[in-house]
Structure formats: C-alpha cells, structure tokens
Structure 1
Amino acid sequence: MMNLVMIGILIRRCTLMSNLFIDSSFLVSLFRQDDDNHELVKQNRNILEDNKCFISNGIVTEVITVLMMRTKNKQLTNLAYYFMQDNFTIVNEYEISEYNDKVFSVFKNYNVNSYKVSFIDCSSVVISNHFGFDYVVALDNGFKLFDDIKLYPINL
C-alpha cells in the first residue's frame, strides 16, 4: 500500500510532465555510439522517461534511414524502430489539413536567401503547433532559428 508521501510524489511528477516532440537528431544520437552527441544524449535520456514523448511518421522514417545509411547495422536499426514503436506516441501528421503546404510555407520562410533548415525540421514546427506540444527536443542548430516553437533545455 502506498503512503501519502509516495502518492504526493507521483502526483507532482505527473503534473510536471511536459508533452515533448522528439526530433530525429536526438534519437539518432541516442543509438549511434560514434555520434558526436551520443554522450550528451545519454546524460539527458531522463528527458524521455520523465515526459510524454511524441514523434511523427516522418521522424520514424528519418531515424531509420539515417541509422541504416550511417551504420549499415540491421540489428541497431531494428532496435531503434521497435524502441520508437514501444516508447513514443506516433502522431499522424497527415491528419493536419494541407500539411505539406503548411510545411512548405515554413520551409520557404526560413530559407529565403540560403538553405538553413530541412523540410523535415520545418515539419516539426507545423506538427508541434498543431498538436500543442510544450517543447521540441532537438540537437540541430537550425531549430534555434524557429520563433514559433520552444526548445527543451538540454543539460550540457
């Protein structure tokens, strides 16, 4: 039987949870031990445990593609795929009306004079705003350019 202190801790933890959209950069770094940000992600993996985490179909596609291209490791790619399936809520971005048009609008806005952010990164802005996520967890510097999302603070 739980005591009142434990119940209080659980209630507090639940109310402190944020809804986070996890970018592929964080996930690729989690699985690639030779990635420059692997240790940083390991030190911050509690982000995934302490919050409600979401990804999109596009994020799944990008993580699997990048991992297989860079590692050629089928076992690691399988591990990453099932980890995402089991640990995140996968939102269907194609439920968003005129999704690609909205993403392309963001893409054009942030890439006016030169290429700064990818289409998939721009999709994170549209998805996060549509679903009302509190923060985006990303390691790509391009995310710092986006005015209309909040980046989750990662401990360095």
Structure 2
Amino acid sequence: MPYSLITLSTTEPAGGLFDLNATLPLMAIQILILMVVLNSVFYKPVTNILDERNEYIKQSLTTAAENLKRANELTDRYGQIELAEARKSAQNIINQTKKKTQEEVTNSIKDVQTQIDIMILDASNELNAQKERALKNLEDQVDLLSQEIKSKLLTRQAI
C-alpha cells in the first residue's frame, strides 16, 4: 500500500522542533564528550604548536633586533672610518695642491726676478751707452768750444 501525505502526517507523533525526551540529555553528553576529546586531541596540540611558533617568532624578532643593532653599529663605525679616510685623502690633496702652488709661485717669482735682472742689466747697459755718448758728445762740444775760444783769442791777438 502506498502511503499518502495525509497518512504520513497522521503517523508522526505530535511535538515541536525539540522533543524533550531521553535523546536531548544524551545529545548534550555526546557534545560534552566531543568537546573534551577535541580539546585533548586537537586543540591542545594546535595551541602548543601556536605557542611554540609565537615563542620562535619572539626569539627571531629579538635576534633580528640585535643583528640590526649590530649592523647599525658596524655601519656607523664603517662610516666613521670612511669619513676619516676621506678627510685624510682630502687633506693629502690639499697639501699636494699647496705644495704644487708654492712651487709654481716660487718658479714664477724666480722667472720674474730673472726677467727683472735682465731688464735692469739692459737698462744699465743702455744708461752706460747713453752716458758714453753724452760724454763723447760733451767732449766733442768741449773740443769745439776750445777751438772757438782758441780761434777768438788768436784773432784778438792778431788784431
């Protein structure tokens, strides 16, 4: 015999969504047992693994912070050493430049002094030559004047 919808609904016991019979406390006990089993089998190992992972992360962060601190110190030291070397190098360059400049100035002064000495010598020679020409010219004029005086004296004595 086939069952119809009407016959099925009449065969079900009357009640609501939850029946308050012996299955409800049994289900509650099963849930509590499941919670205890899950807690001991699954949650505690997972919690332990998470705690170990957190501890490892803390240790890694601490180590990383220490390494970063050491790296910063080394960078500072290296920077100071590099800065000191750069200063020494710059000071050497400055000293070399000063030395070259002083040598160039000294050489220039020597060259100018040599040129001045040559110019003084040339001027002295020129002055001596002019002096000799002036003296010769003066001697010639003295001779001419002497000749004129002599000739005038002779012409006066002759008169």
Q: Which TM-score tier does this pair reach, normalised by the shorter chain?
A: under 0.3
TM-score by length of 1: 0.16
Q: TM-score, structure 2 length as denominator?
A: 0.16
Higher strand share: 1
